[in-house]
Structure 1
Amino acid sequence: MLRGAAALPFVKRALFVVLCAGAGCTGGSQSDSESPGEDAAARESSPSVEDFVAESGAERSEGFVPLWTDTDAGAVYAELDVAEAGAPGGMELLLVEGLARGHGANPIGLDRGELGSVRLLRLRLVGARVVAEVVNTEFRAEAGGPDERRATAAAFPTAILASLPVVARDPSELASKSEPGPRVLVELEPLLVGDLHGVAASLSGRDGGRWRLAEDESFVEIGALRAFPDNVELEVSLTFTSDEGRGWADSTSPESGRLSLRQHVSLVRLPPPGFEPRAAVEDLGALITEHLDFSVPLDRPLAQQLALRHRLVAGEPLVYYVDRGTPEPIRGALIEGASWWAEAFAAAGFPDGFRVELLPEGVDPMDVRYNVINWVHRSTRGWSYGHAVHDPRTGEIIKGNVTLGSQRVRQDRRIFEALLGVEADPAKVVKIGKGGGDPVSLALARIRQLAAHEVGHTLGFRHNFAASTYGRASVMDYPAPRIHLDGEPGSPDARYDLSQVYAEGIGEWDLLAFEYLYRAWKPGEGEAAVAELRERAAAAGMVFLSDPESRPQGSAHPEGALWDNGSDSVAELREVLDVRAHALGRFGPHNLTQGAQPKDLERTLAPLYFFHRYQLEAAAKRVGGQRFELDPQLERGVRPVPWPEQREALDAVLETLDPAVLDVPASVEAIMRPTPDAHIDALPSYAGPDFDALALARAAADMTLGELLDRRRVHRLELQASRSGAADTLDLAELLDRIEAKAWPSRAPPSASARTRALLELTRGAFVDALVGLASDPGASPRVTGACEAKLVELLPRLERARDASAQALAGQVRRWLDRAEGDRRPAPRVVEPPPGSPIGTGLDWAQACSWKNWTDRAE
């Protein structure tokens, strides 16, 4: 998952308002309280640098920007060359900010080690102060002359982050050919003690409270200052307060309504010349940075996209470092998994070009010179991220920064405990892979994949969610565990095959994408090289589909799915259902780790009961699905999934509504205990803390119907049917009829058990609620809403004829909706919700998930 700056334009505006209010910034104009005469007087009265440091006792740290620290005053000063800072263009550098101490609650999203936006900062000497101004790199005229560049720059705003007081200056007569020019010392606190990371907005936005920076209780951490030839590293403690502190924002602090984090700031020399920006090629999987270039010819796109990539130099390996706080055996697994990328470096012409090592003792992982895989603790589990910190002008990656949530591996272990049992008895297993077959070994196999995946983001690669459909060809997909059941579910002779749970190493797609991003090209051969790579991908059947084509529930491409396996999503769904059924039949105390409580059964049952949810999503994408490529040549059009393939998928998806699939075995129900404590995997229940198998089944039925009756999916189905003249066309009317037949099976024996009748009743209720919701959806097309309303009219007599109370209640609901006042189209609320998905479970919106935020760093 990639953290980035998708909402950066908003954040920049918000920071400007907050910081200027606190620091008296004026955006470059004269403030109301300071006249030009007063400014000139202040310049004349400033002590010399030599006198100031002698009087204050400040100590100098030599670095890219020389720093002076006054420990007694708790102040830090930057030494600037007057000639550079006073020039019209000022002194330019990069400012990278992040958090050295985090908040620790995943829903808030403020982790230790995370990095935020990269700003091109200009320091300009203006009288008795230096303004820190963010240069606007989103609008350019790179090929234009000086006048065109000036006109473009003047058309868009910059942003003043802070106004830094000049505390000392050398007299101008020091300047000579033989001596250094005059210097100024500026106080850095107005820049550093500011909410550069947007912490207050993150705290306020999650729970609705109003958090603010308490400047009087915030200060520079003098002891954390580090200075190097090309960068200086600084930290500040920032305190935030709220009179309305509550919820997640307040959950990890020892004091209600008050918390302190540490913000890290790196001031970095601009990268030297020699880096060659590479034009982004979307269908080859690169992360991109985008800007508008007003100097391009009229027959070229105004929006110019550059690929994010490291500067590789032959003979100088790119080194990644694993956080020293990572325990074994996880540390070794991270080093091994991340090292898989060495194969791609060698194949692209950089033998021995990549290494992964343990971070040297004493090195700050926030130091911008080090690419780091951080092992980060949170109060709850959540996503992991890969952040490519890059030069906004060129796309050159300056620092790879990975954040791995430490509870993630524990949830992976729990999933395997639910499937196999804690001990994973070898007698229950047919084949075991080289990594082992117990839950801990399998969780370590998964975290090797995770390390390679997140490092891939920091090397410049986007997700490829289609790769699982052609041989598990990329670590940039989300891998589902592949478990085969040899035998009938529930049979005492059935065995698990664990030999291919996860793939080892990077895949064929990764090698091809790496070659595009990093192989050296001679001048003029780029277009031919890209064309050849596309031909190789097409010949191998490799498709690229990323977040926009895959994450939304109603996305169209049947191969664009997360956490799925195999080229045949329908066959895989049936395989997953068999594994799930077998594991549910065996579920019991042997699925609990030592020291666990009976109530922990619910936490373990949650990922098992919903184990099929991702393969279900993948199979449902074939209904109303269509295949296409992102190749800009547009040689092949959009192709609807063939009707037989759509019907086969529909058959498989509807199987998940069978009472036998929705139910839990009596043996499971007998051992479950009330769970009064709230937790992330809490199962739905109409009975409070008691286990409720019917509520669980309703959540699963809602999940299936939510996939099939997504408004985008069913509208595509209608579009496809309207264009097709085939006799076997599948349309919305048939889809609704097929769901109705599943809810009211014609062959259901009158003597069906009370449990089966209850499960069918809840499926009918879910179907009616889904129809009302879709017919009420203002985003649905009139054709779709009309078909849903027609089905409700058709169902009403059937419901009214039935004698059971459930049917009568549904009939009343349908009548009330059909008789609604004109314009009253409120959908029925969903009664129960399953635990959050993406096996790690976060509750975050998909747009906050791994990689989406930074696949382009322009706001969406």
Structure 2
Amino acid sequence: MKKLYSLLLGGFLLSAPLASAQTLAEKTKGLQKFPGYFPFYWDEKGGRILLEIDKLDQEILYVSSLPQGVGSNDLGLDRGQIGQTRIVKFVKSGPKILLLQPNYDYRAVSPNPEERKSVEQAFAQSVIWGFKAEAQEGNRVLVDLTPFLLRDSHQISDKLEDLKQGSYKAEESRSAVFLPNTKGFPQNSEFEAIITLTGKAKGREIQSVTPDPNAVTVHMHHSFIQLPDAGYKPRAFDPRAGYYANEYMDYATPIDQPILKRQLVRHRLVKKDPTANQSEAVEPIVYYLDRGAPEPVRSALLEGAAWWNQAFEAAGYRNAFQVKLLPEDADPMDIRYNLIQWVHRSTRGWSYGASIVDPRTGEIIKGQVSLGSLRVRQDFLIAEGLLQPYEDGKPTPPDMLQMGVARLRQLAAHEVGHTLGLYHNYSASTRDRSSVMDYPMPRITMRPDGSIDLSEAYAVGIGSWDKRAILYGYQDFGPQADEKAALDAVMKQTLAEGYVFISDADARAAGGAHPTAHLWDDGPNAAAELNRLLDVRRQLLARFSEKALAPGQPMAMLEEVLVPMYLLQRYQVEAASKELGGLYYTYAVKGDGQTITRLVEPAEQWKAFDALLRTISPWELALSEELLLKIPPRPVNYGRSRETFPARTGLTFDPLGAAESAAATTLEFLLNPQRAARLEEYHARHAEQPGLGAVLDKLLAATWEARPETGYPGELQRLVQMLTLQKLLALAAAPQAPVGVKALAALKVEDLKKQLQKEQKAKEEGRRATALAALRTIRQFEDNPEKFQPAPALPMPDGAPIGSNDCGTW
């Protein structure tokens, strides 16, 4: 028996090297071969992909993506979403093949190999997967790629758990290779898998977009891409130019120079003749539109994206930027195609411009735009409310569709701009819409007869700022030019022409201070535009009727059209609030002559304050009785949604709830702790600047000390009074607010308390009740100021993006 065991063991030991010694031809016999950048084989019987690695130790680009998404904008897992882009290489160690990601965040750009090696050894690398060699011939190795493909590479389970949608994990028995989208191309090899994540659903969003929320099936895609050749020349980043940056630390940098390097993220583009004022490009930048976009959307997207050629012509190129319909025989997965795709979701939401970028240099290898298909429908809804076009016996004007299509042109240009390397420029709207990289508020004007004019709702063509940005990023100065000096000259001229670039962090902060950096605003002065919009809004609401509803729609649907009209001012409110306690500044660099910082003039701040006060006036918040009688409770199968106002009245439309959501938003911006802190600081430094105490005094005078109203206006007035108190107490309790701000807010509450005690003797029952409720709220604050939390106000219906960062009306 012992001898037999030895023979069996010996036979096993002999068989192992024989199996591993199989040639690639023997191992892949009978399998379907796919040629391409990495050849691979399909094992139909085993459901496997066998990858032939013929580029050991050679760096490539690995990109994961989500070709078929979940379909909810709230979850942010959309069709076509690009995941992480990494440089990797296959490294062999004995029978193992490791997929290694070098650490390109830390480098030594040096001809000295020992210097480069010292940095490589100082920082960790990442092995993102390990394979067992199935066969080997020389430097060619065969591995089973299937387990690598059948994992949750997009980390959807983690995202769903973070969003409180449930706990999931990839289930192999319900996952498989998706062969139709597994292909080989000359410069890239593409692999796709059907991945099913199973678990226990908890969230409303995941339940709303899946047939069985306990089994979420999506597609995940993997791309192995050839890195570009060394012919690309990186361009130095400038914070004033409007571009994204590719960053890394270079430890070979001389001590007297910055170790952190920043390069522009941009496409490769060079002139055929760099000495010519106008020249064709050696290879133009070409974008291809998803054939799934229907008309008139298709034509609008082609036209809007093509606007960028205007900027490239201004930079000295001829026909260097092109937009075409994706050929029928072309594959959008081919890395050679920059893509504009049309994306469907269950709710409207953001569109995106993403890029696959070479981390070594910042060169854009592929631009990919994702445009949400529901956005145009929201613009159409907005236009219906503005025009109220549905009158019996009269043809419907084309203005609504024209406005929606105009927005799509601008949207296509905007998102393509991101894939050219450009940031948002949220200061552009104050200079006659000088950039498509701003978020545009539709320009709504009123004719002398009171009708609405939408002929200039959205700008046409590329902006003047965009031309300056493309000139900086893409101008070919020629091989003999001093590029640094040439770029300095471009920037000097840009600044001399008065252009300012201010981007996301400065515009999106709730307590933002920059008086010109806003989303969805219009006009050179935020306060003046707010007052103008309020004038337009007042006339719109005064004549708002069922003419805003298409024939056959339930009358309850009038609320959907009413929402963007009632909240016409919402983004201009945020813009005007930044003037109060505002600070104008630029991304100035030493010696460029720009204004570095400048406090907003006190008179401008008080104008903004007065405009903000107007938005919480009972007369601005009220709706007519005639209109209120036309909005019934929702019929069956037409339930309330994110597009309607929240209500405290059950099934009926709640006009006080609508007013609450609007007024609370104004007060949140007005009494933001960061804004309050700046008011106190600037007043302390310059006595003429509005101080927090003066602002609070005027606010209380306009709300609690105003002449009491009766009836419906009286209810609205008392609603605003309570909201003002709650926001003031929240400021007094805010942990992030400075001590002086909290003390001053508490002092104003103490002064108000004395007034409220007198109000308890008022004849009108509503006034006495409000005083009682206010005093109780104050006592709750006094009992434990550090833990005080005011009752939350009803929120506005979802806002940005208009017309379609999550979802909702505007």
The TM-score with structure 2 as length reference comes to 0.92
Higher mean displacement: 549-558 or 144-153: 144-153
RMSD between aligned residues: 2.5
Q: Kindly state the Cα deviation for residue 524 of structure 1 after the two structures are TM-superposed.
A: 6.2
Indicate yes or no: 2:258 matched with 1:258: no
1:469 to 430, 439, 447: 430
Within 5 Å, which residues of 2 pair with 1:568-583?
A: 568-583=525-540
Q: Kindly state the Cα deviation for residue 228 of structure 1 after the two structures are TM-superposed.
A: 1.6
Contact kept, 8 Å, 1:99 with 1:113, in 2: the verdict is yes
Q: Kindly state the Cα deviation for residue 711 of structure 1 after the two structures are TM-superposed.
A: 0.9
Contact kept, 8 Å, 1:165 with 1:187, in 2: the verdict is yes
2:73 to 106, 109, 122: 106
Match of 2:153?
A: 196
Higher mean displacement: 827-836 or 265-274: 827-836
Higher mean displacement: 447-456 or 591-600: 591-600
Distance 2:658 2:628 in 1: 11
Match of 1:718?
A: 680
Indicate yes or no: 2:589 matched with 1:628: no
Distance 1:553 1:383 in 2: 19
**Residue 370 of structure 2: SS of its match in structure 1?**
strand
1:70 to 38, 43, 57: 43
Distance 2:805 2:723 in 1: 22
The one-letter amino acid of 1:499's match is S
The one-letter amino acid of 1:816's match is R
The one-letter amino acid of 1:682's match is T
Within 5 Å, which residues of 2 pair with 1:774-793?
A: 774-793=731-750
Match of 1:743?
A: 703
**Residue 263 of structure 2: SS of its match in structure 1?**
strand
Higher mean displacement: 373-382 or 676-685: 676-685
Q: Kindly state the Cα deviation for residue 529 of structure 1 after the two structures are TM-superposed.
A: 2.6
Residues 78 and 815 from structure 1, CA distance in 2 versus in 1: closer, same or farther, beyond 3 angstroms? Answer: closer
Indicate yes or no: 2:783 matched with 1:820: yes
Indicate yes or no: 2:326 matched with 1:353: no
2:616 to 657, 673, 681: 657
Q: Kindly state the Cα deviation for residue 112 of structure 1 after the two structures are TM-superposed.
A: 1.2
Distance 1:39 1:243 in 2: 48
Distance 1:424 1:731 in 2: 52
Within 5 Å, which residues of 2 pair with 1:479-558?
A: 479-487=440-448, 493-522=449-478, 525-558=482-515
Residues 120 and 498 from structure 1, CA distance in 2 versus in 1: closer, same or farther, beyond 3 angstroms? Answer: same
Match of 1:389?
A: 356
Indicate yes or no: 2:412 matched with 1:445: no
2:770 to 769, 794, 807: 807
Higher mean displacement: 563-572 or 135-144: 135-144
The one-letter amino acid of 1:805's match is R
Contact kept, 8 Å, 2:477 with 2:483, in 1: the verdict is yes
Q: Kindly state the Cα deviation for residue 532 of structure 1 after the two structures are TM-superposed.
A: 2.1
1:722-749 per-position Cα deviation (integer Å, ceiling 9, x unaligned): 11144xx311111001111111354x3x
**Residue 375 of structure 1: SS of its match in structure 2?**
strand
Indicate yes or no: 2:521 matched with 1:564: yes
Contact kept, 8 Å, 1:419 with 1:580, in 2: the verdict is no
Q: Kindly state the Cα deviation for residue 831 of structure 1 after the two structures are TM-superposed.
A: 2.6
Distance 2:391 2:86 in 1: 51
The one-letter amino acid of 1:78's match is L
Contact kept, 8 Å, 2:101 with 2:128, in 1: the verdict is yes
Q: Kindly state the Cα deviation for residue 612 of structure 1 after the two structures are TM-superposed.
A: 0.4
Q: Kindly state the Cα deviation for residue 59 of structure 1 after the two structures are TM-superposed.
A: 2.5
Match of 2:336?
A: 369
Q: Kindly state the Cα deviation for residue 509 of structure 1 after the two structures are TM-superposed.
A: 0.3
Match of 2:276?
A: none
Distance 1:597 1:644 in 2: 48
Distance 1:187 1:260 in 2: 23
Within 5 Å, which residues of 2 pair with 1:312-331?
A: 312-313=269-270, 314-331=281-298
**Residue 203 of structure 1: SS of its match in structure 2?**
helix
**Residue 440 of structure 2: SS of its match in structure 1?**
coil
Distance 1:616 1:529 in 2: 41
The one-letter amino acid of 1:756's match is P
Contact kept, 8 Å, 2:171 with 2:195, in 1: the verdict is yes
Match of 1:405?
A: 372
Contact kept, 8 Å, 1:46 with 1:169, in 2: the verdict is yes
Distance 2:17 2:672 in 1: 67
Match of 2:116?
A: 149
Contact kept, 8 Å, 1:424 with 1:437, in 2: the verdict is no
**Residue 222 of structure 2: SS of its match in structure 1?**
strand
Q: Percent identity?
A: 38
Q: Kindly state the Cα deviation for residue 520 of structure 1 after the two structures are TM-superposed.
A: 1.4
Distance 2:393 2:304 in 1: 26
Contact kept, 8 Å, 1:333 with 1:448, in 2: the verdict is yes
Distance 2:66 2:579 in 1: 43
Q: Kindly state the Cα deviation for residue 423 of structure 1 after the two structures are TM-superposed.
A: 4.8
In structure 2, runs of 5+ residues without a counterpart are 1-11, 271-280
Contact kept, 8 Å, 1:113 with 1:365, in 2: the verdict is no
Contact kept, 8 Å, 2:38 with 2:188, in 1: the verdict is yes
**Residue 211 of structure 1: SS of its match in structure 2?**
strand
Distance 1:416 1:581 in 2: 16
Match of 2:96?
A: 129
Distance 1:426 1:308 in 2: 55
Match of 2:23?
A: 48
Contact kept, 8 Å, 1:480 with 1:564, in 2: the verdict is yes
How many residue pairs were aligned? 776
Contact kept, 8 Å, 2:65 with 2:82, in 1: the verdict is yes
Indicate yes or no: 2:674 matched with 1:674: no
**Residue 210 of structure 1: SS of its match in structure 2?**
strand
In structure 1, runs of 5+ residues without a counterpart are 1-36, 171-180, 430-435, 488-492, 847-860
Q: Kindly state the Cα deviation for residue 809 of structure 1 after the two structures are TM-superposed.
A: 2.8
Distance 1:104 1:609 in 2: 29
Q: Kindly state the Cα deviation for residue 604 of structure 1 after the two structures are TM-superposed.
A: 1.5
Residues 295 and 595 from structure 1, CA distance in 2 versus in 1: closer, same or farther, beyond 3 angstroms? Answer: farther
The one-letter amino acid of 2:513's match is A
Distance 2:14 2:494 in 1: 64
Q: Kindly state the Cα deviation for residue 474 of structure 1 after the two structures are TM-superposed.
A: 0.3
**Residue 342 of structure 2: SS of its match in structure 1?**
strand
Residues 38 and 680 from structure 1, CA distance in 2 versus in 1: closer, same or farther, beyond 3 angstroms? Answer: farther
Higher mean displacement: 414-423 or 550-559: 414-423
Contact kept, 8 Å, 2:646 with 2:658, in 1: the verdict is yes
Residues 585 and 698 from structure 1, CA distance in 2 versus in 1: closer, same or farther, beyond 3 angstroms? Answer: same
**Residue 88 of structure 2: SS of its match in structure 1?**
strand
Match of 1:420?
A: 387
Q: Kindly state the Cα deviation for residue 799 of structure 1 after the two structures are TM-superposed.
A: 1.0
Distance 2:803 2:460 in 1: 25
The one-letter amino acid of 1:754's match is G
Distance 1:426 1:290 in 2: 62
Match of 1:174?
A: none
Indicate yes or no: 2:53 matched with 1:97: no
Distance 2:746 2:737 in 1: 12
Distance 2:263 2:395 in 1: 52
The one-letter amino acid of 2:387's match is L
The one-letter amino acid of 1:65's match is F
Match of 2:273?
A: none
Distance 1:540 1:519 in 2: 18
Larger RCO (CA under 8 A, 6+ residues apart): 1
Contact kept, 8 Å, 2:390 with 2:551, in 1: the verdict is no
Distance 2:259 2:401 in 1: 52
Residues 766 and 186 from structure 1, CA distance in 2 versus in 1: closer, same or farther, beyond 3 angstroms? Answer: same
Residues 182 and 693 from structure 1, CA distance in 2 versus in 1: closer, same or farther, beyond 3 angstroms? Answer: closer
